[in-house]
Every structure is written in structure tokens, then in C-alpha cells.
Amino acid sequence: MGAPSWFPCNDRPDDKASYTFEITVPGGHQALANGSLVEHRETGGSARWTYHHPGPMASYLAAVYTGRFARETWTVEDAGAPVPVHIAYPAGRAKEVRHDLARQGRILQVFTDLFGDYPFESYGVVVVDAELAAPVENQTLSVFGTNHMDGRRGWETLVAHETAHQWFGNSVSLGGLAAHLAQRGVRHVRGVAVVRAPRRGRRGHARAAGPRRAGRAAGQNLRIADPGRRPPLRRPHLRPRRLRLHALRLAVGDTRFFRVLRTWHEARRGGSADTGRVPRACGTGDGPERGRCPRPLALRETVPRYASA
């Protein structure tokens, strides 16, 4: 986590706070940070940009970007989103960025319908003039490289994925490594679904069967609730969490699966959680679904087999 490299902090994801950023840059440059712009003042040959984000936010999600950006604000009416959307990008990439992010408002609205109210005052995307290995889900201000804006929406699943982070991972932060893996799996499930429609039955299995076969063949086995000491973002950790969530969704059905996602966020908004709470969340209520899912899937080491869809 890189926050201590540029400001002093208690670098724990469960220790959150509100943030105010005051950034001074040369005239003609822009500064971007989490939250909302509250003041922009030009003084001589420099400019001060002040942002405030009431959060609460974990230190590792704080971000500041400076440079020459084209900036746009899409209102709720413009974007069809529950909150304003702020976009910043290199001026020469306007066509690709506007096309590839055109459905950002819709993505936010779909997730709001699924997860509950969007947890922050606004959402933003900054495209930096560089190629990045992967986007990053800074709170209220996800960052992408120019390589992710190809003018063909070729990376739109990542646009959705980073948006879903705002609920799972940012608003509800990890209480430990296992929770981190579980919540990233949730974001992947929804990131794919929102731009390609929820996959059910044969279509859902067809999409998930390939990674399942590949994972089993490669021996990508781990307990999602106890992944061990390996670095959390290495490739072997990626497929199993997605596959277990897909198996969980099939085991309990869409109604219960998405109800759990919504109530999980409602109950823990602004806080943190760990995977030990997932079984209790899934197992609540009455009826035949009660107790059918969580802990065996979370603790099983092998890549799961899927029930019939």
C-alpha cells in the first residue's frame, strides 16, 4: 500500500477518515483528487486546487493527479447516473474516452439498483497519459491508462469492475486478506454482468466453464477464506474467487445472492468486514436456501464444480 510514501498515515484499511487536499501546481495545469472540488484559485504563475471528501476513506485509496487534462462534469441528467460523474483525460483522446465511458452513468445506476445507494457524493474517472498494467479503484476517482480507452469499449468490463469497487472494497473495506479476495470476486461477478447482461443458465455456465477448467488444470486451488501467505493479487488467486462466487450464486439462487450483496453493504457501509461474516449473511432467513452456501465454498481448497443451472 503506497500511501505512506507520500503522506504520513496509519496505513490500515480499517482506519478511515475524511480528507481535504490542497494542491498547488503551475498555471495551466490541473490537479485532481478524491472527492469534490471546493476551491480553485489562480495566484501569479500558480494555481491551488482544493478538494474535500467526507469519506470515510482508507488511506491507500487516496490519490492526487496533476497535469494538463481536459475536464468534464456529467450531471445526473446528462449521464443517467445517481450522482455527478467527473471525467478527466488527455485532450487528444476525447473521442475514445467519451465513447468508452458513455455508459458509465448506466453502470452506476445498475449497481445502485443492485447494491443500494451509491455511497459517495460523486464518481470520477481520470485517464492518464500513460499505459497502465491495470486500472486502480481510488475512492470516487478511478484511474485508467490511455491503453484502456481504445474507442471500441474493449475494456468496459474493467470500467464496471472499478465502479463496483466503490461499494465493495472502498465503502466496505477489507477486514483482512480473505475479505479482500472475496470482495474482489464480487466486483468481478458484477463487472462482467452489468455490461453483458446477467449470465444465467447455459450462457452463464459457458462463460464460467472455461476458467473453471483452466483453473483445475493449472492446480489453482486455495481456500478463499484462508488463502495463505502468497501475495494476494497473483494470478492463482484470481480465478478461484470468481468461480466460488459463481458456484455460490448457483447454490443459493439469484434472489438470495443479490439480496445478500445489498444488505451486506447496507449493514457495513463506511466500515470493514471479513469473510467470517459471509456465511451468517447468506444463511439468514427461512426456507430451503437457509444454510446451503457459504462456509464449505469458502473453506474448500479445490476449484468447485458447478451445480446444474
What is the domain-level CATH number for residue 92? 3.30.2010.30
Handedness of CA 93, 99, 105, 109 (dihedral sign): negative
Question: Are residues 19 and 146 part of one domain?
Answer: yes
Q: What is the pLDDT of residues 4-22, one digit of tens each?
A: 999 999 888 889 999 999 9
Residue where a domain stops, chosen among 164, 192, 223: 164
Question: Are residues 232 and 153 part of one domain?
Answer: no
- What pTM was computed for the model? 0.79
Beta carbons of 121 and 108 less than 8 angstroms apart: no
Residue 309 belongs to some domain of the structure: no
Question: Are residues 109 and 217 part of one domain?
Answer: no
Question: Are residues 155 and 12 part of one domain?
Answer: yes
| Tally of domains within the chain | 2
Q: What is the pLDDT of residues 209-254, one digit of tens each?
A: 555 455 555 555 555 445 555 544 444 445 555 666 677 777 778 8
Task: Tell me how far apart the alpha carbons of residues 119 and 172 are, in angstroms, rounded to a whole number.
Answer: 10
Cell numbers that stand for 44 in this block:
501569479
The amino acid present at 299, given as its one-letter code, is L
Task: Tell me how far apart the alpha carbons of residues 240 and 242 are, in angstroms, rounded to a whole number.
Answer: 5
- The 3-class secondary structure across 169-237, one letter per residue, is CCCEEECCHHHHHHHHHHHHHHHHHHHHCCCCHHHHHHHHHHHHHHHHHCCCCCECCECCCCCCCCHHH
pLDDT of residue 22: 97
Residue 307 belongs to some domain of the structure: no
Task: Tell me how far apart the alpha carbons of residues 95 and 196 are, in angstroms, rounded to a whole number.
Answer: 23
pLDDT of residue 292: 47
pLDDT of residue 191: 45
pLDDT at 66 over 50: yes
In angstroms, the Cα distances linking 292 to 27, 33, 251 are 60, 43, 7
Residue 306 belongs to some domain of the structure: no
Question: Are residues 132 and 7 part of one domain?
Answer: yes
Question: Are residues 106 and 184 part of one domain?
Answer: no
Question: Are residues 154 and 10 part of one domain?
Answer: yes
Question: Are residues 151 and 29 part of one domain?
Answer: yes
Q: Which range marks the domain in which residue 217 is found?
A: 174-299
Beta carbons of 224 and 185 less than 8 angstroms apart: yes
- What's the average model confidence in pLDDT over 179-202? 47
Question: Are residues 204 and 73 part of one domain?
Answer: no
Neighbours of 78 (CB within 10 A): 12
Beta carbons of 16 and 55 less than 8 angstroms apart: yes
- What's the average model confidence in pLDDT over 19-39? 96
pLDDT at 83 over 90: yes
Cell numbers that stand for 252 in this block:
443459493
Residue 117 belongs to some domain of the structure: yes
pLDDT at 70 over 60: yes
Residue with cell 451509491: 118
Q: What is the pLDDT of residues 124-153, one digit of tens each?
A: 999 999 999 999 999 999 999 999 999 999
Beta carbons of 220 and 181 less than 8 angstroms apart: no
